[in-house]
Structure 1
Amino acid sequence: MPNEDTMSRIHDLEVTVWVGKSGLDPVVDELSDQLADRGLVKVKFLRAARGDTSTDALAEALAERTGADLVDTRGHTAVYK
C-alpha cells in the first residue's frame, strides 16, 4: 500500500495514458516515456481493452512489459512508478 504522501499525489494525478481496443502494445513506449518524465503515471483501461480480462491482470501485464512498478489499482485505473 502506498504511503500517505504518495496517495495524495495519486489522487491529484490526471489520467495521461488510455488503453483501448488496440490493447497494451500501443501504450508501452508512451508509458515508459511518461514515467521517465513524471515519475508517477495514471493509466485508464477502457472497456474495449478489458474484454474478458480484469483490470488487475492488464495492469500487471503492462507493468511487466514496461519494467514499471504498479503502485495501485482502483476501478479501471492503475498508477505506475
Structure 2
Amino acid sequence: MEKLVQYFIENLMIDLDGALNIEELRELLDESPAAMKLIEKLKTEDDLEDFIITMTDALKEYLASGITPEVLTREFTDYAEA
C-alpha cells in the first residue's frame, strides 16, 4: 500500500480550473511589496503561463502535508524574488 501511496504523491498533477489572464491576476493582488514584485515579474500572458506551471510543480511537494495559505504565500514570494 505504501508504494501505491508514494506513486500517487509523485505522479499526481495539479491543474487550475479556469483561465487566468494578466488583468484578472492584477485584480486579485493587493498593493503589498510581495504582490508588486510578482506583478513586475508577470508582464505577459507567457510569463503568467510560466508562473502557473512553476507553481503547480512546486506545490506538488506539499500534497502530503497540505497546501495552506502560508505555503502559497511563501511560494508566490519565492517566485517573485527569483
Higher relative contact order (CA 8 A, sep 6+): 2
Q: More helix per residue: 1 or 2?
A: 2
**Bigger radius of gyration:** 2
Q: TM-score, normalised by structure 1?
A: 0.28
